[in-house]
Amino acid sequence: MSARIFGSNHPLIAYLMAGYPTLDRSLEAAEIVFKAGADALELGVPFSDPIADGPLIQKASTVALRQNVSLRLVLDMAGRLSGSGKPIYIMSYLNPILRMGYAEFAAQASRSGVSGVIIPDLPVELAAEWVRTAWANRLGTVFLATPATSTPRLKKIAQNSTGFVYLVSVYGVTGVRDELPGYTYEFIRRAKSVVNRPLALGFGVSNPRTVSQALKAGVDGVIVGSLLISKLMDQEPSWVEVLANLESTVHALKQATSTTVPTEEGK
């Protein structure tokens, strides 16, 4: 399953919103992201009430919804990208999945070559049915933990996650940040002490410096989303130039996964 991206490699997982700016262009963007060196793709499903997402991803979701981009279309897109051989994770809020039904969604995701599923508003305490269904369809399940997550609950999240645990770096929603706060590094150390699965840090990882700092602090991989969405929102260049800027951004982020700089605490 999804654990194959971890090991000696520190994977860069790129987040894109399916259907932004259009379905076809989001497919092109995903292909560019893979070409530039991303090790995996987190493919967002547009949703009307994305409680964990900041303004950039909310805007991208709204645009995709106006074009009637559905969960089924996102799974079709995943199938078109599966030939890359790189893992694809579907990031969806629970409601679209419930509307389709666990069994049908899991079966179609598996047929589309999806490696795993991230459902940010599905608490681990209520996830037993989904976890069983995912396992039966050879899908990984990735649960999120935040700095507010208690240590006992963090252990439960790790026990039920397949592949890796998604660490949310900050209190609040997604967004571009120049630096990560000191408590992020304390959270990483605590998670490392109790979690026996790879850790990937997301929310606010927005430049090569924060990538390398996070890896030095002990996470195994990083997830970058809002920064990439912001590149797609640049209206001034041509689409060809937008893709070129996206490619160079991902390339620089990937290069940073092989270098480290001191954390703020270590200066």
Distance (Å, whole) CA 60 – CA 37: 23
Contact 115, 2 (CB under 8 A): yes
Q: Is 53 a catalytic residue?
A: yes
Strand, helix or coil at 201? strand
Q: How many CB atoms lie within 10 A of CB 104?
A: 13
Compute how many other C-beta atoms are within 10 angstroms of the C-beta atom of residue 147: 17
Q: 20 and 226 in contact (C-beta within 8 Å)?
A: no
Token duo for residue 182: 């000191």
Q: Which strands, in side-by-side order, build the sheet including 40-44? A: 140-142, 116-118, 88-91, 40-44, 12-17, 221-224, 199-202, 165-168, 144-145
Choose the catalytic residue: 28, 42, 125, 236. 42
Q: Is 24 a catalytic residue?
A: no
Catalytic residue among 28, 39, 49, 53: 53
Q: Which helix (H) or strand (E) holds 24?
A: helix 23-35
Identify the three-state secondary structure at position 168. Answer: strand
Burial 223-257 (b: 16+ CB within 10 A, else e): bbbbbbbbbbeeeeeeeeebbeebbebbeebbebb
Name the residues annotated as catalytic. Answer: 42, 53
